[in-house]
A and B are shown apart, each in its own frame.
Chain A
Amino acid sequence: MDSSEIRQLKILAAKSRKGAILGTYHAKSGHPGGSLSAADMFTYLYFKEMRLNPAEPRWADRDRFVLSKGHCCPSLYATLALKGYFDWNELTTLRHVGAMLQGHPDMKGTPGVDMSTGSLGQGVSAACGMALAGKLDRKDYRVYTLLGDGEVEEGQVWEAAMFASHNKLDNLVVIVDQNGLQIDGAVEDVAGIEPLDKKFEAFGFEVVKIDGHDFEQIEAALDKARTVKGKPTAILMKTVKGKGVSFMENQVGWHGVAPNKEQYEAATAELDAEIERLEGNC
């Protein structure tokens, strides 16, 4: 990946963040904080990592992505729109009555969404099922799932982790977005999960720790996951909740609150400036 490619990804990620802000602003609700922390990973997965065909969202041989932390869909939706699954303007009706874009991902209604999620802990099991089906059918597609760090407090995550390693699901990558904050406060204050790397290792995973806003590290981790045989990979990525919008960064209050008009305009201006700066560098 050369510097120009990285710059392109950064532009797409900034646009994804803009879309998350746009969507939650129009919805007057939703979860900007965790959407922004995951935007770089969404961007890399959909524009670099995954084998996809937006014209055929249900293509049987596609790679799959399950957003286990379903509430962070605003940025996923924006990334899917950027990738061409649906029109960007859909973002302005997020969470509206009759809209295609539901408050949490709906696989039946939204092209590009591979699994309905929203109840924490459940997506990772579904991702295991997809990976297992792939093995059974001798298909080479890969399955990716993204969890929140608060989400790993759910017991089902660990049931799924045991299942994944028992069944040697090396076509599965479990990514944890460690922005360190959940609704009630800092993860380590609410119900500490560390040492998370040792936990995943003990559950039979290959573990890679990265900075989730560094595309070179994201690439290295996902490339490494492809070489791991006989066990699943966990990528623990350190991120900043609210990343990319200065007044949202590391603020727990932005977990599930939409920006008002003034905040929407300020955030959009900040992201536009970033896009302009990056495009100027091209």
Chain B
Amino acid sequence: MEIVKKATRESFGEALCELAETNQDIVVLDADLAAATKTGIFQKAYPERFFDCGIAEGNMVGVAAGMAAAGKIPVAASFAMFATGRAFEQIRNSVAYPELNVKIAGSHAGISTGEDGATHQCIEDMGIMRAIPNMVVLNPADHWEMKAATKAAIEYNGPVYIRLGRLAIDSFNDPETYTFEWGKGITLHEGDDVAVIATGLVVNESLKAVKALEEEGINARLINIHTLKPIDREIVAKAARETGRIITVEEHNVIGGLADAVCEVVTEECPVKVTRIGVQDTFGFSGPAWELLDKFGLTAPHIADVIRQVVAEKK
């Protein structure tokens, strides 16, 4: 299986270029961060279809809405913080309410943004976007998934938020067999002791954790949720019924994101105890990405610890 070590922002930029070859309607807008969001890859290949809006995210999203109203498929990119934070209301009122075909790409999401610190580490984006009617929220976990998700987002006619990471990470999906199904979770590891439901960058960390625990006789199920909204209710409810215990893992505040999305399903379908791994409603701080992920308990050893505790509690 081919392992690619790449940041999902880069996979996204490459995917846009590939899709733009055959789809003339794709246009890309950025807010002075093309080099960082990797829309610069598209800019280089299709300069006539790339528009730098300068440091003005609200206007960028409005322009994207207008272009969509005129038949284009605009992708508006910035850091997750500014795309979903600064431009929240433009996304809500100019994009989501009229259901315009705009894709919002939020890069440098989560604390793995690293050294830039709290002002740039967006831990609320999925919650903000999930709360808006008509929005689809995608959070792909590796290179292959990002490429497939980008294609699906472009093919879908309507507003989409797609979360991109800064940090180069190893792929874990097999490109030979991987398929992206809109709104469908993927079971990466079977088991009935507990269900670990993860999204984004921490899926691979969760995978390492559940594999390591096999030796200890712990059989944890692992589900990758690449589409946070609409969430795969069936796979979540089934996990609750069959394991009786859920752990969510996300590089996001435990408020608003995956934890809430899973709890919403579980409370309605099959109430079980849910343990939420994520940023515990605090701001981040500066530091190298992996050190921060370790500090926030988002690496494989920490996830494994929580799984052990939960399984022990269950017995």
Contacts and interface: CB of A to CB of B under 8 A. Distances in A.
B66 A107 contact: no
Contacts of B62: 122-126, 128-129, 156, 160
A123 to B, nearest CB: 8
B278 interface: no
A136 B65 contact: no
Interface string A117-142: 01101111111111111101100000
Majority-rule SS of A interface residues:
helix
Chain A: interface size category: 35 or more
B65 A156 contact: no
B66 A159 contact: no
Contacts of A115: 65-66, 69, 94, 98
Main secondary structure of the interface of B (DSSP, over half): helix
B117 to A, nearest CB: 25
B71 interface: yes
A153 interface: no
Given A108-B99, A162-B54, A129 B67 contact: yes
B63 interface: yes
B93 A129 contact: no
A116 interface: yes
A133 B54 contact: no
Interface centre among A64, A122, A137 (most CB of B within 10 A): A122
A125 B66 contact: yes
A153 to B, nearest CB: 14
Nearest to B61: A125
A163 B70 contact: no
Interface in B85-120: 89-90, 93-94, 97-99
A156 B90 CA distance: 10
A119 B89 contact: yes
A270 interface: no
B63 A129 contact: yes
Contacts of A134: 70
A129 B68 contact: yes
A128 B72 contact: no
B98 A133 contact: no
Contacts of B97: 106, 116
Interface of B: 27, 48-49, 51, 53-54, 56, 58-59, 61-72, 74, 89-90, 93-94, 97-99
Given A126-B63, A156-B56, A167-B51, 12 more contacts: A60-B71, A64-B69, A64-B70, A106-B98, A126-B94, A129-B70, A130-B66, A130-B67, A136-B48, A137-B70, A159-B59, A162-B56
27 contacts: A64-B70, A115-B66, A115-B69, A115-B94, A116-B97, A116-B98, A122-B62, A122-B89, A123-B62, A124-B62, A125-B63, A126-B62, A126-B65, A128-B62, A129-B65, A129-B70, A132-B66, A133-B66, A133-B71, A136-B27, A136-B48, A137-B71, A156-B56, A156-B58, A156-B59, A163-B59, A163-B63
